Amino acid sequence: MKITIAAIGRAGRGPERDLYDHYASRIRWPLVLRELEEKRKLPAAELMRREGELLLAAAPRAAVLVALDRRGRQMDSEAFARRLGRWRDESVSDVAFLIGGADGHAEALLEKASLVLSFGAMTWPHQLARAMLAEQIYRSQQLLAGHPYHRA
């Protein structure tokens, strides 16, 4: 199973990127980070639509789409691991996690997602969301392997 994280915005150097890199380097599934941005100044609704197009275009064809959005479903780490494990066991070839811009995702993108996932009701900086996602993917990998990391 290959994993793509498609995110609006470019991460520079800094502690959030270092944290992402720390966990991403430990993930055994092939992992790709695609950073995207719309440079034109557009009204919010049009910008969200355009960012959605960019994110969908960055996802591998036929990938299972997971949109990160505050309105999504909250899962504990064990449930998230079970979901990844089920996709792995069902021979899903690609999973794409989509992280939107400052205004979030347009409804059209959310409707295409197999899972809309929330890290909670609070809004998280998008750079930190990438690191949190990488950590949870790594934690899932360890949990599925029966490693005690998930108890840490």
Boundaries of every domain in the chain: 2-151
**pLDDT tens profile 22-42:** 999 999 999 999 999 999 999
**pLDDT tens profile 87-138:** 999 999 999 999 999 889 999 999 999 999 999 988 888 889 999 999 999 9
CATH of region 2-151? 3.40.1280.10
Mean pLDDT of the chain: 93
**pLDDT tens profile 50-69:** 999 999 999 999 999 999 99
Question: Residue 29 in contact with residue 134, Cβ under 8 Å?
Answer: no
Whole-angstrom distance, CA of residue 98 vs CA of residue 142: 23
Exposure b/e, 76-110, CB count within 10 A at least 16 = b = eeeebbebbeebeeeebebbbbbbbbeebbbeebb
Determine the pLDDT at residue 14.
Answer: 86
pLDDT at residue 4 greater than cutoff 90: yes
> What three-state secondary structure class fits 100?
coil
